[in-house]
Amino acid sequence: MIEIINVLLVDDHAIVRAGLKAVLGVAHDVRVIGEASNGSDGVAMAQRLKPHVVIMDLTMPGGDGVSAIKALAAMPDAPKVLVLTMHTEEEYLMPALKAGASGYLVKSAADRELVDAIRAVIRGEMYVQQNAGRVLARGLVARDPASEERTRFDRLTERERNVLVLVARGYSAPEIGERLSISPKTVDTYKQRVNEKLGVTHRAEYVRIAMRLGLLAEE
């Protein structure tokens, strides 16, 4: 369990970042470790500082938030991304969530909900602002996550599928290599391909996908 949640702020307005630091300063378990004024700088800073959570605006000059979220999601040990925006329209929110954000919050509610939202995404939850549920309903409820994951899974090669299942079952790279008669280095190459195709980085995500698709029923 993380005792102190390290947070990186990415927003093009210095006064907004100052306000967010003031809000977070009262939380005993949250610490702001860096600030960036655009998405590109935010990604570079995240690679260097390795925050647990990145609070990301969506519309910024010099590097937008959605592109930055995609880049952050592709990082090893990717941080959680919490979108903090003035926009509630689906045209802004849905691309961010599809890119890999763990939740969103409008800026007008930051003083009341930001700390709770940070704690929620660290617990692995999706944080959705309560009064914006209808926006998500239009874009998310109609989609079946398992169906989407099945579609992406079907794009994997047979060897990539085997590696995914074995990783989900807890086997190490040498153990997988022995089972599949390939080297551990080759196993790592297949894992990287799976990560890129499915947008995953951690074994827990392998397990979640495998369970949803019923791939762990038999050894």
Distance from C-alpha of 80 to C-alpha of 94, rounded to nearest angstrom: 17
Whether residues 87 and 184 share a domain: the answer is: no
Q: Say whether both 191 and 204 belong to one domain.
A: yes
pLDDT at residue 136, rounded to an integer: 54
- What pLDDT does residue 99 have? 87
Number of domains in the chain: 2
d(CA 137, CA 172): 39
C-beta separation of 82 from 30 below 8 A:
no
Asked if 122 and 160 sit in the same domain, the reply is: no
Which CATH number is 200's domain given?
A: 1.10.10.10
Domain around 30: 5-141
Per-residue pLDDT tens digits for 103-147: 888 888 888 899 999 999 999 888 876 555 555 545 544 455 556
Alpha helices in the chain (DSSP H): 14-24, 39-49, 65-73, 90-99, 110-122, 133-136, 145-154, 158-168, 173-180, 184-198, 203-212
Same domain, 152 and 126: no
More confident residue, 98 or 49: 49
Beta-strand relationship, 30-36 and 127-128: unpaired
| Confidence tier at 18 by pLDDT (50, 70, 90) | very high
pLDDT at residue 91, as a whole number: 64
pLDDT of 133 reads 53
Q: What is the mean pLDDT of the chain?
A: 85
> Which pLDDT score, from 0 to 100, does residue 106 have?
84
List the CATH number of the domain containing 63: 3.40.50.2300
Q: Would you state the pLDDT for residue 41?
A: 94
pLDDT of residue 155: 84
Between 54 and 204, where is the model more confident? 54
Same-domain pairing of 60 and 156: no
| Predicted pLDDT of residue 88 | 64
Report for 48-52, 61-65, 105-109: range of highest mean pLDDT: 48-52
Q: What is the pLDDT of residue 141?
A: 45
Domain final residue pick, 90, 123, 141: 141
pLDDT at 162: 92
The percent of residues above 70 in pLDDT, for the chain, comes to 87
Question: What is the pLDDT, as a whole number, of residue 142?
Answer: 46
Is pLDDT of 218 > 80?
no
